[in-house]
Structure 1
Amino acid sequence: MTETAEGKGFAEVMDSLNNEANMESLLYLVNKLPDLAKTVKTADEALTFAQSTLNDKETMNQLFEEAETKLEASNLNTDTLDALFRVLHLLPEVVPLLEKLVDISEFVKEAAKDSDSIEMLLDEVSPITNSFNLTVDVLKETNHRVQADDQLPHVSIFKLLNLLKDPSVRKGYKYVQTLLNVLSEENKKEA
């Protein structure tokens, strides 16, 4: 390059530096130079580490052996992967349910800590458990009496008519009849 060409190039650089936008850009770069140097140094160190790790065949072999051992132990096969993808597909539907379950679990934990809540729950459940226990006791006693008496009773139409006069039998008949009516209505709705 000749001196006139160098002078002309230098003049163009100086003209370019006199441009305010270029001057601001250059000033910005000079101010950011320490940060850019740190970033480049960090990237260089990471690249050097990656290159040395990749070049270290012993380390790479060890990593691959560990990965292979873990894959073999995990029983990972096409069926497992298919199941995993099906589960991933269902996650949008399952996650809201799990979140509700977690909320319920947290509520139950908090309620279990509160003695007033436990007492109120026991007061509400007590009549149900008492009724259930009474029913179980009646069924046990009935079963015991039936097992104790080996003889089959003589059944006549008059005994059946007398049974229909018993209030317990009439109440039971009312429940059975109502149940059959409700079932009939439900069958009509489905049809």
Structure 2
Amino acid sequence: MGYSETNTNKDMIQLINELEKPEVQESLTALLGKLPDIQKTLESAENIMDFGKSVVQDKESINKYEQTLSTLNINGETVVALITLIEKVPKLVSMIEQVENIMDFVTDIIKDKQSTDYLLSNLKEYTEPILKEGKDGLSLIKRVKERADCNPQNVTFFSVMKWMKDPTVKRGLCYVQAALEIINEKDPERFERGK
């Protein structure tokens, strides 16, 4: 028996001793159970490698990718902007989640008849006085226009003097005077140019 045969026998004995250990046997059993998954992974990796090789060898595909990349304006600013955008993604996601929560809340309220009735009644309380004032103002303007159209008068100096005694006219003139003073405070040059 030569030296190499003795070493081979020793290696075999060591291997058999290792295989007799229970933890080694459990590991081998687990490995044998995972062999189909490992094989599928290797096959998919081979498929990816084959695809990569065929793309690299396909000059037409490479030319299309080069043309697409050449039309893109990718420079330092673009990369910095992309990095900044990626850094802001968590904040954007948080804001989108808040908007979704608000939309869910609004949708729930709209679906709930009692809540919508309550909202509409509260809204009516606020809008009715405003609408009433608007309608009153429109009817006043309409009545003034009708009276002015139906009853044209000659305006004389004496009629203007008579109007000056009316408190409503005095109050209106005070408003006009106050408005002119405020305009003059904002733009004093306007009145200087008008002189």
Q: Could you tell me which runs of 5 or more consecutive residues in structure 1 were left unpaired when the two chains were aligned.
A: 165-191
Paired letter, 2:32: P
Paired letter, 1:3: G
* TM score, norm. by length of structure 1: 0.57
What residue is the counterpart of 1:48 in the other structure?
46
What residue is the counterpart of 1:159 in the other structure?
166
What residue is the counterpart of 2:13 in the other structure?
14
What residue is the counterpart of 1:77 in the other structure?
73
Given the superposition, is the C-alpha separation of residues 82 and 38 from structure 1 closer, same or farther in structure 2, using an over 3 Å criterion? same
Given the superposition, is the C-alpha separation of residues 40 and 115 from structure 1 closer, same or farther in structure 2, using an over 3 Å criterion? closer
Paired letter, 2:40: T
Is the 1:53–1:60 contact (alpha carbons within 8 Å) kept by the matching residues of 2? no
Is the 2:18–2:24 contact (alpha carbons within 8 Å) kept by the matching residues of 1? no
Shift of 1:88: 3.3
SS in 1 for 2:127: helix
- 5 Å matches for 1:2-151? 3-11=2-10, 13-15=12-14, 17-18=16-17, 23-57=21-55, 61-62=60-61, 65=64, 77-78=73-74, 84-144=82-142, 149=148
1: CA distance between counterparts of 2:133 and 2:18?
99
Q: How many residues align?
A: 159
1: CA distance between counterparts of 2:132 and 2:99?
34
Deviations 1:143-186 (A, max 9, x none): 44565649796564x5349978xxxxxxxxxxxxxxxxxxxxxx
Shift of 1:105: 0.9
Shift of 1:112: 1.1
1: CA distance between counterparts of 2:99 and 2:107?
12
Is the 1:17–1:23 contact (alpha carbons within 8 Å) kept by the matching residues of 2? no
Question: For the aligned residues, what is the CA RMSD?
Answer: 4.3
Paired letter, 2:166: K
Worse overlay, 131-140 or 115-124: 131-140
1: CA distance between counterparts of 2:108 and 2:160?
57
Shift of 1:41: 1.9
Given the superposition, is the C-alpha separation of residues 45 and 161 from structure 1 closer, same or farther in structure 2, using an over 3 Å criterion? closer
Shift of 1:80: 6.7
Shift of 1:133: 0.7
Q: Could you tell me which runs of 5 or more consecutive residues in structure 2 were left unpaired when the two chains were aligned.
A: 172-195
What residue is the counterpart of 1:167 in the other structure?
none
